[in-house]
Amino acid sequence: MVVRRFILAACLTVSAANAHQPEARLDALAVAHPEVVSLFTFGTSGDGVPLRGARLAAAGEGPTPEDRPAIVIVAGLNPLHRVGMDTALGLIDELASNQHEFLSKRCVYVIPCANPDGFSRVERASPRMDWPRTPHTGDADHDARRGEDPAEDLNGDGFITMMRLKDPSPTTGLAAEFMLDPADGRILKRPDTAKGERAQYALLIEGVDNDGDGKFNEDGPGGAGDIDPSTNFPYRWPEFADGAGDHALCLPETRALAEWFIEKRNIAAVLVFGPGDTLINVPPTGRFDASGQVPLGIEEGDKAAYDAVSAAFKEATKMNAATALDNAGSLQGWVYAHLGILSFQTPVWVRPDQIAKADEARPAETPPANEPTPAETPAADDPRARLRAFQNATPAERERMMAEFEAMPAAERERIMAAVRGGQPGGQPGAGAPPSGGPPAGGPPGGGRRGGGRGPGRGGSAPGGGASAGPTAAPATDDEAWLKYDAERVAAGDESGFILWTPFTHPQLGEIEIGGWKPGFKHNPPADELPRLVAEQTAFLKSLSTKFPNLTPQGPWVERLGPSLWRITVRVVNEGTQPSMPSLAVKARRTTPTLVTIGVPIERIISGEKIARHWAIAGSGGVAETSWVITGAEGSTAPISVRPSLGAPVTLNARLDGGAK
């Protein structure tokens, strides 16, 4: 028991002691659960690291593990998505420890780190950057040059974030596409021209134009032609997209994964842990590419199955919102469109406001006796309490508190701001004092250990920025919601994941500002969330497995038609809720249908096919019936083999005397 608790604690730890910690954790789980967990290797990464996974299957009287319906979980394709890897490893421990009955009838494959080279880079990276790619010596931006323009940490704060340039001149080659969000000056948004709004800012990754081609940082942090594995699969492969690779499956990791999937014949569903979502945002139906052959979403006939799985996921996780994604070049898109297997992706973790509350009408909580109420101003020697009070205050109370703050001596103001920033003195790169000298409206100053996404809308509290919409106003944009969540984490004692915009003199662009979300902030939760996430995904997997097709042979029924002439009938009943094959699988003809074969010489078959093929048997009691008329001596037997499209084969014996056994 002590050993198991130690391993579980290790598997739920967020920080890694070394670059390949998922490998060590996988080994530890196999040692702890040898009766359930067996490891497998399916390839080698570009850096020579074995690509490994775990098969979970308990001993039972039923079919062998390779004949059981299987769920495949793939995590770590995006190396920034550490929560996916941690949850996948936690699932192995949870399933192996407590779900033996479930695993006696099902098989689960877990690949916790499908991109070990990318993960190793993220763990070693200095400075840190949101760069979800794996090292590769190709031409990621398709300009016939390799590694000529990496991103750089210009202000030396240890992070590669974003640059924003106000009113870019024509000589920069940049266009203004964004404006300050009136609700919060830290945020940039695209202007609504119908409201008379005007773009003022260009937004780009931190760095310089090393090769002088007018583009900035097109070759990533290391200057290599890195590739995003999540866009390297041969489903609507985005040929001309940056990071898609020279061709589909050009990475050793993606090719090995594809070959492994093709070899497996018992996969019923695939779940990818990654930043985007297809479970809350079910893909559209009835849409195809220009050829009319490749689905842009899902087949109409598969909508009921996807909706049922989505409902089960929402029930298990309580999620009601998540970031949708385009499946172009993705693993889950390829598995569905090419292999005909139901496939999904989930970010595993979302902000608290994207989770349905158990009781929306519950009364507001009374602040603890040792916490200040919004109307009180905490003592100056408790800076974090002051910040919490400021965030919870009404607009009128905020004005009063700001006036009190401005009236303090400069040294006292700086002491408070340094404490709120986590000890960063004001003037250091990345700290960024607010324009007024006081706490920025809507959130704390920058600094912190977690970071996040990059791209449009990652703004900051710039000179001239807007004011907060007030503590009771619902966030109008996704970035406003992230700022609200960040403020809540700071109020709980964590450090901010947002770096305030600070001025910087760029060698090519002149006066700019650098700031935004820290790498990984929008992907990964605090460590104390992991047990809950593992429990939720365990519940979802068990629910998902109950929906699999369950093909059960019935019969045979034998009728005497004349001397040495017999009719034999066999039924295959689908006692599961899903059809025996997805509609896309029937269309693709890649998967073997349910085969019902009678084992007598073909010359004895008067009517009926020797091998009957049933492509799709409806769920919830759907029936496929096969009949033959054969000749044979009374008292002899005719063997019948039923090989389901998913599940173990079964042999029946028809005795030619009007009975069966």
For residues 23-36, average pLDDT: 93
Does 12 or 537 have the greater pLDDT score? 537
Beta strands in 382-509 (DSSP E): 498-506
Confidence (pLDDT) at 399: 63
Give the chain's domain count.
3
Same-domain status, 535 and 615: no
CA atoms within 13 A on the CB side of 463: 9
Quickly state the pLDDT bin for 6 (edges 50, 70, 90).
very low
For residues 620-649, average pLDDT: 95
For position 575, which CATH number holds?
2.60.40.10
User: Which of 32-36, 61-65, 105-109, 580-584 has the weakest average pLDDT?
Assistant: 61-65
Query: What are 574-577's contacts with CB under 8 Å, separation 24+?
Result: 574/549, 574/550, 574/617, 574/618, 574/619, 574/620, 574/621, 574/622, 574/623, 575/550, 575/551, 575/621, 576/547, 576/548, 576/549, 576/550, 576/551, 576/619, 576/620, 577/308, 577/546, 577/547, 577/619, 577/620
Distance from C-alpha of 138 to C-alpha of 124, rounded to nearest angstrom: 22
* Greatest alpha-carbon span in the chain: 112
The two structure tokens encoding residue 565? 């002439």
Same-domain status, 345 and 376: no
Beta strands in 49-152 (DSSP E): 50-56, 70-75, 107-111, 128-129
Same-domain status, 117 and 174: no
CB-based contacts of 100, cutoff 8 Å, min separation 6: 36, 58
What percentage of residues in the chain have a pLDDT greater than 70?
75
Instruction: Answer yes or no: is 132 within a domain.
Output: no
DSSP count for the chain of H helices, then E strands: 14, 22
The two structure tokens encoding residue 457? 């809308």
Same-domain status, 513 and 373: yes
User: Which of 38-47, 244-253, 509-518, 603-612 has the weakest average pLDDT?
Assistant: 244-253
Instruction: Answer yes or no: is 22 within a domain.
Output: yes
| Average pLDDT for the chain | 81
Whether the pLDDT of residue 406 is over 80: the answer is no
For residues 402-413, average pLDDT: 70
Same-domain status, 599 and 478: no
Confidence (pLDDT) at 40: 97
Whether the pLDDT of residue 9 is over 50: the answer is no
CB-based contacts of 403, cutoff 8 Å, min separation 6: none
Confidence (pLDDT) at 385: 58
| Residue 207 identity (one-letter amino acid) | G
Same-domain status, 374 and 451: yes
Whether the pLDDT of residue 83 is over 90: the answer is yes
Whether the pLDDT of residue 364 is over 90: the answer is no
Quickly state the pLDDT bin for 242 (edges 50, 70, 90).
confident
Angle at 49 between CA 48 and CA 52, to 5 degrees: 135
Same-domain status, 89 and 237: yes
User: Which of 49-58, 450-459, 575-584 has the weakest average pLDDT?
Assistant: 450-459
For residues 264-285, average pLDDT: 95
Spatial contact of 28 and 7, defined as CB atoms under 8 Å apart: yes
Same-domain status, 313 and 375: no
Instruction: Answer yes or no: is 144 within a domain.
Output: no
Which of the given ranges, 6-10, 628-632, 657-661, has the highest pLDDT on average?
A: 628-632
Distance from C-alpha of 340 to C-alpha of 561, rounded to nearest angstrom: 42
Distance from C-alpha of 276 to C-alpha of 593, rounded to nearest angstrom: 32
Backbone angles phi, psi at 300, to 5 degrees: -55, -35
Quickly state the pLDDT bin for 59 (edges 50, 70, 90).
confident
Distance from C-alpha of 32 to C-alpha of 2, rounded to nearest angstrom: 11
CB-based contacts of 412, cutoff 8 Å, min separation 6: 380
User: Which of 162-176, 231-245, 463-477 has the weakest average pLDDT?
Assistant: 463-477
Spatial contact of 282 and 85, defined as CB atoms under 8 Å apart: no
Model confidence, pTM: 0.78
For residues 324-328, average pLDDT: 89
Query: What are 243-246's contacts with CB under 8 Å, separation 24+?
Result: 243/133, 243/140, 244/329, 245/136, 245/138, 245/140, 246/138, 246/139
What percentage of residues in the chain have a pLDDT greater than 90?
59
DSSP string, 262-323: HH-S-EEEEEEESSSBSSSSPPPBS-B-TTS-SBSSB-GGGHHHHHHHHHHHHHHH-B----
DSSP string, 404-426: HHHHS-HHHHHHHHHHHTTSPPB
Confidence (pLDDT) at 60: 75
Distance from C-alpha of 109 to C-alpha of 95, rounded to nearest angstrom: 11
Cα separation values, 498 from 221, 442, 486, Å: 20, 12, 8
Distance from C-alpha of 446 to C-alpha of 425, rounded to nearest angstrom: 11
Confidence (pLDDT) at 423: 37
Which residue range forms the structural domain that includes residue 629?
Answer: 551-655
Whether the pLDDT of residue 13 is over 80: the answer is no
Confidence (pLDDT) at 357: 80
The two structure tokens encoding residue 343? 């496939």
User: Model confidence over 439-496: pLDDT tens digits?
Assistant: 333 333 233 333 333 333 333 333 333 333 344 466 778 999 999 999 999 999 999 9
Confidence (pLDDT) at 660: 46
Same-domain status, 340 and 386: no
Quickly state the pLDDT bin for 239 (edges 50, 70, 90).
confident
Quickly state the pLDDT bin for 389 (edges 50, 70, 90).
low
User: Which of 4-13, 88-97, 535-544 has the weakest average pLDDT?
Assistant: 4-13
Same-domain status, 375 and 470: yes
Whether the pLDDT of residue 131 is over 90: the answer is no
Whether the pLDDT of residue 369 is over 60: the answer is no
Confidence (pLDDT) at 334: 96
Confidence (pLDDT) at 575: 94
Confidence (pLDDT) at 590: 82
Confidence (pLDDT) at 219: 63
User: Which of 237-246, 267-276, 367-376, 510-519 has the weakest average pLDDT?
Assistant: 367-376
Distance from C-alpha of 330 to C-alpha of 176, rounded to nearest angstrom: 31
Which of the given ranges, 8-12, 174-178, 516-520, has the highest pLDDT on average?
A: 174-178
Instruction: Answer yes or no: is 147 within a domain.
Output: no
Query: What are 378-385's contacts with CB under 8 Å, separation 24+?
Result: 380/408, 380/412, 380/416, 383/415, 383/416, 383/417, 383/419, 383/420, 384/419, 384/420, 384/490, 384/491, 384/493
Instruction: Answer yes or no: is 110 within a domain.
Output: yes
Confidence (pLDDT) at 458: 34
Beta carbons within 10 angstroms of residue 353's beta carbon: 15
Confidence (pLDDT) at 144: 53
Same-domain status, 186 and 288: no
Spatial contact of 81 and 99, defined as CB atoms under 8 Å apart: no
Q: Which residue has the tokens 């090769």?
A: 211
Distance from C-alpha of 112 to C-alpha of 25, rounded to nearest angstrom: 10
Instruction: Answer yes or no: is 168 within a domain.
Output: yes
User: Model confidence over 507-556: pLDDT tens digits?
Assistant: 999 999 999 999 889 999 999 999 999 999 999 999 999 999 999 999 99
For residues 287-301, average pLDDT: 89
Instruction: Answer yes or no: is 212 within a domain.
Output: no
For residue 16, the SS3 value is coil
Does 245 or 144 have the greater pLDDT score? 245
Distance from C-alpha of 170 to C-alpha of 70, rounded to nearest angstrom: 57
Same-domain status, 254 and 324: yes
The two structure tokens encoding residue 563? 């001397």
Q: How far apart are the first and last CA of the chain?
A: 48
DSSP one-letter code for 188: E
Quickly state the pLDDT bin for 303 (edges 50, 70, 90).
very high
Cα separation values, 105 from 64, 66, 100, 577, Å: 9, 11, 9, 16
Spatial contact of 88 and 115, defined as CB atoms under 8 Å apart: no
Quickly state the pLDDT bin for 593 (edges 50, 70, 90).
very high
Instruction: Answer yes or no: is 150 within a domain.
Output: no
Whether the pLDDT of residue 358 is over 50: the answer is yes
CA atoms within 13 A on the CB side of 313: 23
For position 114, which CATH number holds?
3.40.630.10
Quickly state the pLDDT bin for 288 (edges 50, 70, 90).
confident
